[in-house]
């Protein structure tokens, strides 16, 4: 099975080929040019490994949550390739992809949602499969979910901004902080390889939007600014 995988949901642009169970992954710094770079990089990776689009068995992509524009780019490119070549397609939750990448029994996945919020998902390996043990969602740092987790790892882009808050919230548990920034295309390919339909299915090509609102209004930003600079 040959699977092309794309993720542009974060500051890292990653693409991967799952070629006959061998994982080939490349990672690039975004420099905010995902839309310009993605197709040439895909073509280069496929050429190096002597694979054409007609040789693919499916396409996977990071469906979110993550940077709104990045998620749209990955879903659009994956959709275009899959539709043009009548390939199965599946979008994978990036929180789950983080948990799969870390490869620990229990993982608290966190992604910086911006606007002062954080996406959280919690996964546990049961019988070799990842199982979500809470409803993933977007949370204010002051109102993180209470977890009945005795030990585990916290990983994802949310760690960089909210490490102290995460540590304080879960300090009573035997939970460690993983500060690595992971490329996810390979993990997404591995998860997606088990979830394909036989043919192209539009329902599996949609981004995941946990939060409908992706930007604050000017007035809301003014209120935030005033509250942050209010004299006490």
Please, which residues have CB within 8 angstroms of residue 228's CB and are 6 or more apart in sequence?
A: none
3-state secondary structure the chain: CEEEEEECCCCEEEEEEEECCEEEEEEEECCCCHHHHHHHHHHHHHHHCCCCHHHCCEEEEEEECCCHHHHHHHHHHHHHHHHHCCCCEEEEEHHHHHHHHHCCCEEEEEEEEECCEEEEEEEEEECCEEEECCCCEEECHHHCCCCCCCEEEEECCHHHHHHHHHHHHCCCCEEEEECCCCCCHHHHHHHHCCCCCCCCCHHHHCCCCCCCCCCCCHHHHHHHHHHHCCCC
Q: Model's pTM, two decimal places?
A: 0.88
pLDDT tens track for 71-129: 999 999 999 999 999 999 999 999 999 999 998 899 999 999 999 999 999 999 999 89
Token output for 76: 């659009």
Which pLDDT does position 178 carry in this prediction? Answer: 95
- Residues 52-72 have pLDDT tens digits of 999 999 999 999 999 999 999
Give dist(CA 49, CA 36) in Å, integer. 22
Which CATH number does the domain 2-93+183-205 belong to among 3.40.50.300, 3.30.420.40, 2.30.40.10, 3.40.50.10320?
3.30.420.40
Which residues does 114 contact at the CB level (< 8 Å), separation at least 6? none
Q: Rounded distance, CA 115 to CA 7, Å?
A: 22
Gap between the Cα atoms of 7 and 92, Å rounded? 10
118-177: pLDDT as tens digits: 999 999 999 989 999 999 999 999 999 998 888 899 999 999 999 999 999 987 778 899
Architecture of domain 95-178: 2-Layer Sandwich (3.30)
| Helix 185-192 vs helix 94-102: crossing angle, to nearest 10 | 100
All structural domains of the chain with their residue ranges: 2-93+183-205, 95-178
Q: Are strands 151-155 and 106-114 parallel, antiparallel or unpaired?
A: parallel
**CA dist., res. 60 & res. 9, Å (int):** 13
């Amino acid at each position: 099975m040959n699977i092309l995988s794309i993720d542009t949901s974060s500051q890292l642009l990653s693409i991967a080929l799952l070629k006959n169970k061998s994982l080939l992954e490349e990672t690039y710094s975004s420099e905010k040019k995902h839309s310009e770079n993605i197709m040439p990089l895909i073509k280069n990776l496929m050429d190096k490994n002597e694979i054409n689009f007609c040789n693919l068995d499916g396409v996977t992509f990071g469906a979110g949550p993550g940077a709104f524009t990045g998620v749209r780019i990955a879903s659009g490119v994956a959709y275009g390739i899959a539709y043009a070549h009548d390939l199965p397609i599946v979008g994978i939750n990036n929180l789950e992809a983080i948990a799969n990448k870390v490869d620990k029994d229990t993982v608290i996945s966190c992604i910086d949602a911006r606007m002062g919020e954080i996406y959280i998902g919690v996964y546990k390996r049961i019988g070799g499969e990842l199982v979500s043990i809470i409803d993933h969602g977007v949370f204010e740092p002051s109102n993180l979910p209470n977890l009945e987790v005795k030990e585990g790892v916290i990983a994802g882009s949310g760690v960089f901004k909210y490490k102290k808050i995460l540590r304080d919230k879960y300090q009573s548990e035997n939970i460690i902080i993983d500060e690595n920034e992971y490329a996810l295309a390979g993990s997404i390919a591995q998860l997606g390889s088990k979830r394909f339909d036989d043919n192209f299915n539009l329902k599996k090509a949609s981004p995941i939007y946990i939060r409908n609102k992706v930007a604050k209004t000017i007035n809301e930003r003014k209120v935030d600014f005033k509250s942050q600079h209010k004299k006490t």
